[in-house]
Amino acid sequence: MKENTNNGEKQRLPILGLLALAMAGFMAIMTETLPAGLLPQISNGLNVSESLAGQLVTLYAIGSLTAAIPVIVTTRRWRRRPLLLLAICGFLVFNSITAVSSDYILTLVARFFAGVSAGIAWGLIAGYARRMVSDEFKGRGMAIAMIGTPIALTFGVPIGTFLGAFIGWRSVFGIMSLMALILIGWVLWKVPDYPGQSNGDQLSIIDVFKTPEVRSILFVVMTWMTAHNILYTYIAPFLISLDMQRVDLALFLFGVSALTSIFIVGSLIDRWLRTLLLGSIAAFTIDSVLLGISGGNAIVIYLGVIMWGLTFGGAATLLQTALAEAVKDEAVDMVMSINTTVWNLAIASGGLTGGILLKTIGAGSFSWAMFVLLLLALFAALRSKRHGFT
């Protein structure tokens, strides 16, 4: 069957369709991180401790991590829009269950399957965006489709926490369900349908992983994102160790600069992918040193946070574009599911590594652990001129 988007539509850059994909990414991040800002309320509502309430985030991550590859492999012959709608319906159903459930175990189960929905969505968004636009706009299309992530991280969670104080945590999850319902209509209206893989096009997950370019890029994903998550997960104790109390201001500056980065990357990625990626890793490497030797100087720290945001905002777009360019079109969804798994492993690795460092050496060690990881990422990216970051 022919793809529903014709060349004229691709040339015009289908903004509303791409923004629907961005909304799906926004919903995935919001659904994942909302409990972090609502832990006291959720704890009281489910009659459990805050540490047990925090497992709502853990179960979501486990669902996303474990389901990404097997679900995308199993459904690779499915048409793309029904699969995307299935993921969004998952957010609708399981956020609704979370909103009304008074049973802790049932809520955990709902959170796990909400994470499965996210794993499906992350496996689809990048490949979908690339199919909706012409070759010269593939990077820009991905940048638009990925903009929901930094918006959710920057503004979504604080707004959700603020609303929770006034209308209750259950109502916030109810609002997420309403957003999912709206998004279903939006996708039906503006997102075209595409066929899945035919039997002749299918590649095994091992074949995709064995591609030299893919392995090089995934190594960079793992090292770069582990370094990022050491700092992001423990930004509060890190700043407090430097006598900085305004964690909220630092996160706001990080978010605004990350959004700025997405616009910069989106406008240049189709011509300067390798330069942008190497520049981002190199700048973050230098930044890790500056943060380490800042000595508590507020101006240096805030500038360091801004530089951090500028290097991170476009990272997902750069890395996913490189992965998509490294494989055949029919393997894009599969390689994105591998990327989802590695990305979540990096989040877990950053949290675990940062926690060990915080407990044994102190937050001051973060910068130097990041520096080592980023040097490895930079070295791998530099060596990948032929295989990966061309």
In a domain, 351, yes or no: yes
Do 57 and 152 lie in one domain? The reply is yes
- Residue 9: per-residue pLDDT: 53
**Lowest model confidence (mean pLDDT) among 80-84, 120-124, 127-131, 245-249:** 245-249
Of the candidates 147, 153, 121, the one whose C-alpha atom is nearest the C-alpha of residue 19 is 147
- Residue 170: per-residue pLDDT: 95
Percent over 70 (pLDDT), the chain: 94
322 and 277 in contact (C-beta within 8 Å)? yes
In a domain, 389, yes or no: no
In a domain, 390, yes or no: no
Residues written for the chain: 390
Most confident of 294-298, 315-319, 374-378: 374-378
Instruction: State which amino acid sits at residue 142.
Output: M
In a domain, 1, yes or no: no
Q: Is the pLDDT of residue 271 over 60?
A: yes
In a domain, 252, yes or no: yes
Q: Is the pLDDT of residue 349 over 70?
A: yes
Do 299 and 366 lie in one domain? The reply is yes
Q: What is the number of domains present in the chain? A: 2
Most confident of 95-99, 215-219, 346-350: 95-99
Do 264 and 335 lie in one domain? The reply is yes
Instruction: State which amino acid sits at residue 313.
Output: G
pTM (predicted TM-score): 0.80
pLDDT digits (tens, 9 = 90+) for 93-137: 999 999 999 999 999 999 999 999 999 998 889 889 888 988 788
Of residues 230 and 331, the one with the higher pLDDT is: 230
- Single residue among 132, 161, 196 that ends a domain in this structure: 196
- Single residue among 156, 180, 196 that ends a domain in this structure: 196
Q: What integer best gives the mean pLDDT of the chain? A: 86
Q: Is the pLDDT of residue 157 over 70?
A: no
What is the CATH number for 364? 1.20.1250.20
**What distance in Å separates the CA atoms of residue 339 and residue 341, rounded to the nearest whole number?**
5
Do 188 and 225 lie in one domain? The reply is no
- Residue 84: per-residue pLDDT: 95
- Residue 246: per-residue pLDDT: 76
pLDDT digits (tens, 9 = 90+) for 285-307: 999 999 999 888 889 999 999 99
Q: Is the pLDDT of residue 4 over 50?
A: no
In a domain, 254, yes or no: yes
- Residue 34: per-residue pLDDT: 85
Of the candidates 81, 89, 86, the one whose C-alpha atom is nearest the C-alpha of residue 188 is 81
SS3 of 308-366: HHHHHCCHHHHHHHHHHHHCCHHHHHHHHHHHHHHHHHHHHHHHHHHHHHHHHCCHHHH
- Residue 21: per-residue pLDDT: 96
In a domain, 388, yes or no: no
In a domain, 2, yes or no: no
Do 179 and 250 lie in one domain? The reply is no
Do 237 and 222 lie in one domain? The reply is yes
Q: Is the pLDDT of residue 74 over 70?
A: yes
Do 221 and 362 lie in one domain? The reply is yes
Instruction: State which amino acid sits at residue 226.
Output: T
- Single residue among 146, 164, 196 that ends a domain in this structure: 196
Do 333 and 262 lie in one domain? The reply is yes
- Quote the domain boundaries for residue 321: 203-383
